[in-house]
A and B are shown apart, each in its own frame.
Chain A
Amino acid sequence: MPEITGFAFPNDIHVTWSLMIVMYPYITGFVAGSFIVTSLYHLFDRQEFKPVARLAMATSFAFLLVASLPLQLHLGQPQRGPYVIITPNPTSAMAGFGILYSFYLLVLVLELWFVWRPEIIDRARRSRGFARVFYSTLALRTYDLSPEALEVDHKAIKILAGIGLPAACMLHGYVGFIFGAIKANPWWSTPLMPVIFLLSAAVSGIALLILLYQVFARIDGRPVVATCVSALASWLWFFLILTITLEQLELIVMAYEKSESWIIISQLLTTRLAFSYVTMQMIVGGLIPLILLAVVVLMNRYLHDKVRNTLATVAALLCLLQVFAMRWNIVIGGQLLSKSLRGLRSPFEPEIFGREGVLMAIALFVAPFVILWIFDRVLGIEEPGGGVADGHGPPAVPTAGEPAGSHAP
């Protein structure tokens, strides 16, 4: 039984939304954040992100595949999960999950297909047996890699990126809306919530890519392009400033207005959430990366590549912690205070094993990296030979000697 200080409504002492509901916005945050990075290249033609664009798209996809699992694991009746699509209640933000998730999945899969089409066709031609059947089905049995076809692909990619960016933002923004639209909970209820969620999603996505880019580059034996790292660091700094500003602004306005809920919320922050909010979210995850990234961005010209990479990596790791802490403080923190506004319950300790436990959360975080590894084996994340951009030039692999049937309907 949890300990209560003050008075809590008798039903209010249970934390219904547990670790899985902390993981869900964390994971969809990576989906949205990675897609923002890949769109900076595919939609806005920012060339400095080219080295990381394909990796970002694959990362968004890998996390998207895992994104619905925390919700399924949390449901009291998981076999009824599909009811959200069968009988969705139009006034419920949570019902939006079915449509938004499916729509964004569709858009992302289509964009992946267009971007990776040259590789799919290439592997279809080079493989035999079951692998060949697999790749040629994936290619939908068309093997057209002419400049005109690639130009069509390029247009399609741009259109899909243009649709996908708001879709990805909606997929994560609606999670913020789920919390922000609950007038019953004063820690959650604010119009800023979807914005804060989305901005911190961008932070987490860019931070993850800073890390993944260096890891994958090392595995592939490619050099880490300095302009890409400094571009990622700049955008990370930008989004971090926005996120922290809005998070603190909320708090400052609440404290200034001293509305009815401020007494219990300030108690919540100084007692139950002292470590996760003040130490982790604000200082370790907020102030320190802010300073590190300021150095990387403002002193960019004077920095040795290795120093820049190291500073950016450390800042990125701390940002990942900050975003997790922010999700924890909102989801769990909001349930530690009772709707009576007179009581707090003891801090939530997640179970280790079990459907909603710590081990499950770790598994959910690790799974997308496994998927990325499989993706790399099946399709290859980067282009072979390091480098012509998709749709901007002739295909990387010569088309001599294609097997029979490559033009047939």
Chain B
Amino acid sequence: MEHARHVFRIVLVVVVMLTVVLLARGFLVPKTYGMYGPYRFANVAEQRNARTPLYAGAAACAECHADEAAKRAAGAHKTVNCEVCHAPLGAHVKADGSVVAPPIDRSFTLCARCHRKLAGRPARFPQVDLDQHVNAPVEGKVCLQCHDPHSPKP
């Protein structure tokens, strides 16, 4: 014991350091950590409110655009959400209720993205072989010249 004085001293130093670390840790652990698992529970509520939803679904559009909605519901595009071709609701109606006119895409690309004939598409899905649609090749031509987008089946 007499000659182990230095051992006691170093052990004391180690114990003091460990105490300081544990004390510090006690203050630094977030309050909601560990409530339901090894994570910060407060984050769940934060994620719920992380952002305002942008897309709303076709029903929301029908509130103001009843005519187009009715036409769509009676036609071949009845399962296609308005926001697929148009902008999401959040880009059109702002949080304060003001309305911004969204750009309307009338290009060939928009229609071709779904309706170009592709090997992977289900056979019963309406696809167009763009080299021979009706009478002539239609690649690049605007489909809207012949088709009403809200009720496209001729």
Touch between chains A and B, by CB atoms below 8 Å: yes
Q: Tell me if B48 is interfacial: C-beta within 8 Å of chain A.
A: no
Q: Identify the closest chain B residue to A146 (Cβ).
A: B3
Rounded to whole angstroms, the CA-CA distance of A85 and B7 in the bound complex is: 28
Which of A86-94, A189-197, A267-275, A337-345 interfaces with chain B? A86-94
Knowing A142-B5, A152-B3, A152-B4, the reply to whether A89 touches B10 (Cβ < 8 A) is no
Are A87 and B3 within 8 A (Cβ)?
no
Binary contact readout B1-43 vs A (1 if CB under 8 angstroms, 0 otherwise): 0111111011001100000000001001110010000101000
Q: Are B10 and A144 in contact (CB under 8 A)?
A: no
Contact of B25 among A86, A89, A117, A141 (CB under 8 A): A86
Q: A110 an interface residue at 8 Å Cβ cutoff?
A: yes
Q: Which chain B residue has the least Cβ–Cβ distance from A86?
A: B28
Query: Could you list 10 further interchain pairs (A-B, Cβ under 8 angstroms) beyond the known A86-B25, A110-B10, A144-B6?
Result: A82-B28, A87-B38, A91-B38, A139-B6, A140-B9, A140-B10, A142-B6, A142-B9, A146-B3, A148-B3
B38, A149: Cβ atoms closer than 8 Å: no
CB-CB < 8 A to B5: which residues of A?
142, 144
Inter-subunit contact A156/B38 (CB<8 Å): no
Any chain B CB within 8 A of the CB of A106?
yes
- The 0/1 profile, CB within 8 Å of B marked 1, for residues 116-146 of chain A is 0100000000000000000000011110101
**Which residues of chain B (35-76) have a CB below 8 Å from chain A?**
38, 40
Verify if A113 is at the interface (C-beta below 8 Å from B): yes
Docked CA distance A110–B9 (Å)? 12
CB distance from B122 to the nearest CB of A (A): 22
8 A Cβ contacts from A82-104 to B: 82, 85-87, 89-91
Of chain B, the residue at the smallest CB distance from A143 is B6
**In the complex, what distance in Å separates the CA atom of A142 from the CA atom of B10?**
10
Contacts of B103-129 to chain A: CB distance below 8 A = none
On whether the beta carbons of B14 and A106 are closer than 8 Å, the reply is: yes
Which residues of B are found within 8 Å of A148, using beta-carbon distances?
2-3
Q: How far is the CA of A220 from the CA of B25 in the complex (A)?
A: 45
Q: How distant is the Cα of A152 from the Cα of B2 in the complex, in angstroms? A: 11
B29 touches A86 (CB 8 A): yes
**What 7 pairs between A and B have smallest CB-CB spacing?**
A142-B6, A149-B3, A148-B3, A140-B9, A89-B38, A86-B28, A152-B4
Q: Check if A85 sits within 8 Å of B25, measured CB to CB.
A: yes
Interface residues of A (CB under 8 A from B): 82, 85-87, 89-91, 106, 110, 113, 117, 139-142, 144, 146, 148-149, 151-152, 156
Q: Is B6 within 8 A of A87, CB to CB?
A: no
Complex CA–CA separation, A257 to B18 (angstroms):
50
Nearest CB in chain B: distance from A295 CB, A: 46
Q: What residues on A are CB-neighbors of B10 within 8 Å? A: 110, 113, 140
Alpha-carbon separation in the docked complex, A152 to B5 (Å): 10
- Whether A87 lies near B14 (C-beta < 8 A) is no
Please give the number of chain B residues whose Cβ is less than 8 angstroms from any Cβ of chain A in the complex. 17
Minimum Cβ distance to chain A for residue B24 (Å): 9
- Residues of chain B lying within 8 A (CB to CB) of residue A113: 10
Residues of B within 8 A of A140 (CB): 6, 9-10, 13
Contact sample, A vs B, 17 pairs, CB 8 Å cutoff: A82-B28, A86-B25, A87-B33, A89-B38, A90-B38, A91-B38, A106-B14, A140-B6, A140-B10, A140-B13, A142-B6, A144-B3, A148-B2, A148-B3, A149-B3, A149-B4, A149-B6
Give CA–CA (A151, B7) in the complex, Å: 12
Residue of B nearest to A409 (CB): B5
Contact residues in B for A82 (Cβ distance below 8 Å)? 28
A24 to chain B, nearest CB (A): 23
User: A91 — nearest CB in chain B belongs to which residue?
Assistant: B38
Q: How far is the CA of A149 from the CA of B5 in the complex (A)?
A: 9
B4–chain A nearest beta-carbon distance, Å: 5
Q: Say whether A152 contacts B7, CB under 8 Å.
A: yes
Distance to closest chain B CB from A28 (angstroms): 22
A159 to chain B, nearest CB (A): 11
The smallest C-beta distance from B32 to any residue of chain A, in angstroms, reads: 11
Q: Please measure, in the bound complex, the distance between the C-alpha atom of A140 and the C-alpha atom of B10, giving whole angstroms.
A: 7
Contact (A110, B14) CB under 8 Å given A86-B25, A86-B28, A87-B30: yes
Chain A, residue nearest B37 (CB): A89
Q: Which residues of chain A come closer than 8 Å to B7, judged between CB atoms? A: 152, 156
| Set of chain B residues within 8 Å of A141, measured between Cβ atoms | 9
User: A336 CB to closest chain B CB, in angstroms?
Assistant: 28
How many angstroms from the CA of A106 to the CA of B3 in the assembled complex? 23
Chain B residue with minimal CB distance to A152?
B4
CB distance from A121 to the nearest CB of B (A): 10
Residue-wise, chain B 83-97 has the 8 Å CB interface mask toward A (1 for contact) of 000000000000000
Instruction: Report A-chain residues with C-beta under 8 Å of the C-beta of B33.
Output: 87
Residues of chain B within 8 A of A156, CB atoms compared = 7
Query: Could you say which of B2, B13, B29 contacts A87, with CB atoms under 8 Å apart?
Result: B29
Q: State the CA gap A230–B35 with chains docked (Å).
A: 58
Q: Report the separation of the CA atoms of residues A358 and B8 in the bound assembly, to the nearest whole angstrom.
A: 46
A139 — which chain B residues lie within 8 A by C-beta? 6
Chain A nearest CB from B22 CB (Å) reads: 11
Q: Chain B residues near A149 (CB, 8 Å)?
A: 3-4, 6
